[in-house]
Structure 1
C-alpha cells in the first residue's frame, strides 16, 4: 500500500502569518491611520490565528516539531492580540504589552537558532521577526513612537520574506521545481 500524498502545511502557516503581520505592521509603521487598525482583528482571529493553529497541528501530525511549535505559538500570539485588542483580557498597559512582545522576541530568537541549518529564507524570516518583536516591545515599554515605527517597518520586511518563503513553495510545487529558498547558513 502506498501512503496518500499530503499537502505541506507550511505555506498556509507562513501566508497567514505574513498577511496579518503586513497589515498590522503597516499601522505600526505609521503608514496607515490608527483609526483603521480594527481591520487586523478579523485577520488575527482567522488567518493569523486559526490558520496558523491548523498549520501547527498538521506539522505536528507530520512529525515536524519546529513547524508545530512555530505555527502553533504564532497562531496563539494572534489570538492573544485579538483578545487583548478587544479588551477581553481586562485593562492592559503599554508596558504589559511591551513585556509580552519582548517575551515573544526571546522565544523567536531561540527559534531562530533552529533555522541555521534550514534555508536562508526561513533564517531571514526569524531574524527579522525577533528584531521586530524587540523594537515593538521596547518602543511600547518606553512609549517611543520611533521604535514602534521602526518595528512596523521591520515587520513589513518580515512579512514579505515570510510570504516569499511560503508562496515560493506553492509555486515551485505547482510547476514541479524546487523552491528557490537559498542555502542554509550552516551546512
Structure 2
C-alpha cells in the first residue's frame, strides 16, 4: 500500500488586528512627541516601543500575513515594523550619543517612506474603507513630516497631530478585527468592498 501524503491546512488567527495595534500605539506615542503635547524626553518610550512592539511584533504580524497569503498585509506590517526598528535604532544611537542622523538623513528616510506609503495607499483602495482612511491619513502625516524635516517646523507639529489621528484610526481597525471576530457579527464596521 502506497503511503499517502496528507496535506494539513493549518488555520491561523488573523494577524491584522495585532499588526494594527502595534502600529497604532507606537505611532500614537511618537506623534504626541512630534505634536509637542509631551516632552521630547518621552522619546525614550517611543524607542522601546519601536524596537519591541511597533517593530519586532509588527514584523511577526507581517510574517503571519504571508502565511495567510495576504500580500498587502504582509508587505505593510513587515515594512512598517522595519520602519520602527530603524527609527528606534537611530533614535537610540542619538540618545546614547553614538551617532546623530543629520537633518538631510532624516529627510531622506521620511521621503523614502512617503514613496512607499503612496503606493500602499493606492493598494488600500482594493481593501476596505477603514484601511483607505488609515493610509490617507498616513500619507498626509508623512508629507507633513517631510516638509517639517525640510525646515518648516509648523509642518512637523501638524504631522504629529495627523499621526495621532492616524493612530486612532488604526486602533479602530484593530478593535474592529477583534470585536467583529469574537462576537461573530459586525460590531465596528470597516466598510468592506463588495
TM category, shorter: over 0.9
What is the TM-score when the length of structure 1 is the normalising length? Answer: 0.92
Equivalent residues in 2 for 1:53-132, closer than 5 Å: 53-87=59-93, 90-132=99-141
Residues 3 and 11 (structure 1), Cα distance of their counterparts in 2 relative to 1, 3 Å cut: same
Please, which runs of 5 or more residues in structure 2 have no aligned partner? Answer: 1-5
Partner of 2:41: 35
Q: 2:36 & 2:153 partners in 1: Cα distance? A: 9
Partner of 2:166: 158
SS class of match (1:31): coil
Q: 1:130 & 1:30 partners in 2: Cα distance? A: 20
Please, which runs of 5 or more residues in structure 1 have no aligned partner? Answer: none
1:46-70 deviation line (CA, Å, top 9, x unaligned): 1100111000100011111111110
Partner of 2:3: none
Q: 2:99 & 2:62 partners in 1: Cα distance? A: 28
The count of corresponding residues between Structure 1 and Structure 2 is 184
Task: Provide the alpha-carbon RMSD of the alignment.
Answer: 1.7
Q: 1:38 & 1:141 partners in 2: Cα distance? A: 24
Q: 2:162 & 2:88 partners in 1: Cα distance? A: 21
Cα deviation for residue 5 of structure 1 reads 3.4
What is the TM-score when the length of structure 2 is the normalising length? Answer: 0.89
CA radius of gyration, larger in: 2
1:88-111 deviation line (CA, Å, top 9, x unaligned): 783311221122112101110111
Give the one of 146, 149, 172 matched to 2:154. Answer: 146
